[in-house]
Amino acid sequence: MKTDERNAGAEEFARLTDPYRRELLAYGYRMLGSVHDAEDLVQEVYLRAWRSYATFDGRASLRTWMYRIATNACLNALEHSSRRVLPSGLAAPSEDPTPTSLRAPEVTWLEPFSERLIGRVPEDPAAIVAARAGLRLALIAALQYLPGRQRAVVILRDVLAWPAAEVAELLGMTGAGVNSTLLRARSRLERLVPASDEIIEPDEPAQRELLDRFAMAFEAVDVPAITRLLTEQATWEMPPVPQWFTGRDAIGRLLTARLSAVPGGPRLVPTRANGQPAFAMYLPQQDGLLRAHSIQVLTVTRSGIVHISSFIDETLFGYFGLPLVHE
């Protein structure tokens, strides 16, 4: 009988908590800056929650209870980890485009987040914009500079739109404490995140045309055509390579140096990451196969492409539902 009761309890727990799994994954990613770490965190959260489920008294909603466990796990993880960064957060831009295999394994790098991990997209256009804005790569990178508790407050209040009283209860703070913490976090973020009017995307047909032109130019290794799609002060970075480049001319020299070494053109497969357009890039190898190389996340504005982060990490392809070899 005890076994039957335990099985029934497990089924009830799964039924009630599984709807929160995807949003907790996105929350963990925002807090930690890594989809790998967020995935591990969600597993830990569900294990902790199951162990404590018999003591859940219902005074708070189940969702709030799960977020409390997730927040505590995130804050604990942040105490024992380094801040995740992009190359542009480490040093000045490079002037040397010479291809190099030099990487910085000692640096804890930021990772992209596949949009397919979010699940169902809101139907309301305003909700879609808000959901994507809350995952933008620039925001995630900036959040990593905040202390853990400030990070949690700004995500819960500004991204997830939780009431201040609920955030205060979750974090064991007063309402005044939440508001003052939020003000400090917002002040810091204003200095780190590009102004919203600078990252307004073109309408969908214009963006689709620009992305199609970018993919065609890249696969044709037409560097002048690629750079014409960039803004004058565009930036390009390639974690875990610590070098990064800014300006059309510097990026053109970088692409010329790197793509000239590719035996045949690369292939770009469109996808989405962090609420932004992205491409999975495959490079031809000596065996004739096109193998996974990087995930390119593009920041597109009405003036053109202002930023490209090319994450050179084949382990990311699985999160995007993409194979390691392109047919």
Structure tokens at 71: 């927040």
Give the number of other CB atoms < 10 A from CB of residue 210. 19
Quick one: pLDDT band at residue 197, thresholds 50, 70, 90?
A: very low
pLDDT range class, residue 50, cuts 50, 70, 90? very high
C-beta atoms surrounding 275 within 10 Å: 22
- Domains (range + CATH), the chain: 1-81 (1.10.1740.10), 83-136+199-327 (3.10.450.50)
| Predicted pLDDT at 118 | 85
Helix (H) or strand (E) holding 48: helix 35-52
pLDDT, position 55: 87
What digits encode the pLDDT tens for the residues 259-306? 877 777 899 999 999 999 999 999 998 888 999 999 999 999 999 999
Distance CA 136, CA 105 (A): 25
Q: Which residues contact 27 (CB under 8 A, 6 or more apart)?
A: 38, 67, 70, 74, 155, 160
Task: Work out the average pLDDT over 296-319.
Answer: 96
**CB of 35 closer than 8 Å to CB of 29:** yes
Alpha-carbon gap, residue 304 to 275, rounded angstroms: 17
Quick: pLDDT tens for 22-42.
Answer: 999 999 999 999 999 999 999
Q: What per-residue confidence (pLDDT) applies to 192?
A: 84
The Cα–Cα gap between 29 and 39 comes to 8
pLDDT band at 1 (very low <50, low <70, confident <90, very high): very low
pLDDT tens profile 223-237: 999 999 999 999 999
- Output the pLDDT for position 105: 74
Query: Any idea how long the chain is?
Result: 327
Give whole-number Cα distances, 90 to 4, 17, 312, in Å. Answer: 55, 39, 17
Question: In a 3-state reduction of DSSP, which class is residue 58?
Answer: coil
Characterize the bridge pairing of strands 230-238 and 276-284.
Answer: unpaired
Q: Give phi and psi for 278, each to the nearest 5.
A: -150, 165
Q: What is the pTM of this model?
A: 0.91
- Mean pLDDT over 76-96 rounds to 91
Sorting pLDDT into bands at 50, 70 and 90, what band is 95?
confident
Long-range contacts formed by 10-14: CB under 8 A, 24+ apart: 10/50, 13/49, 13/50, 13/53
Does residue 99 have a pLDDT over 70?
no
Cα 243 to the chain's mean position, in Å? 20
pLDDT range class, residue 106, cuts 50, 70, 90: confident
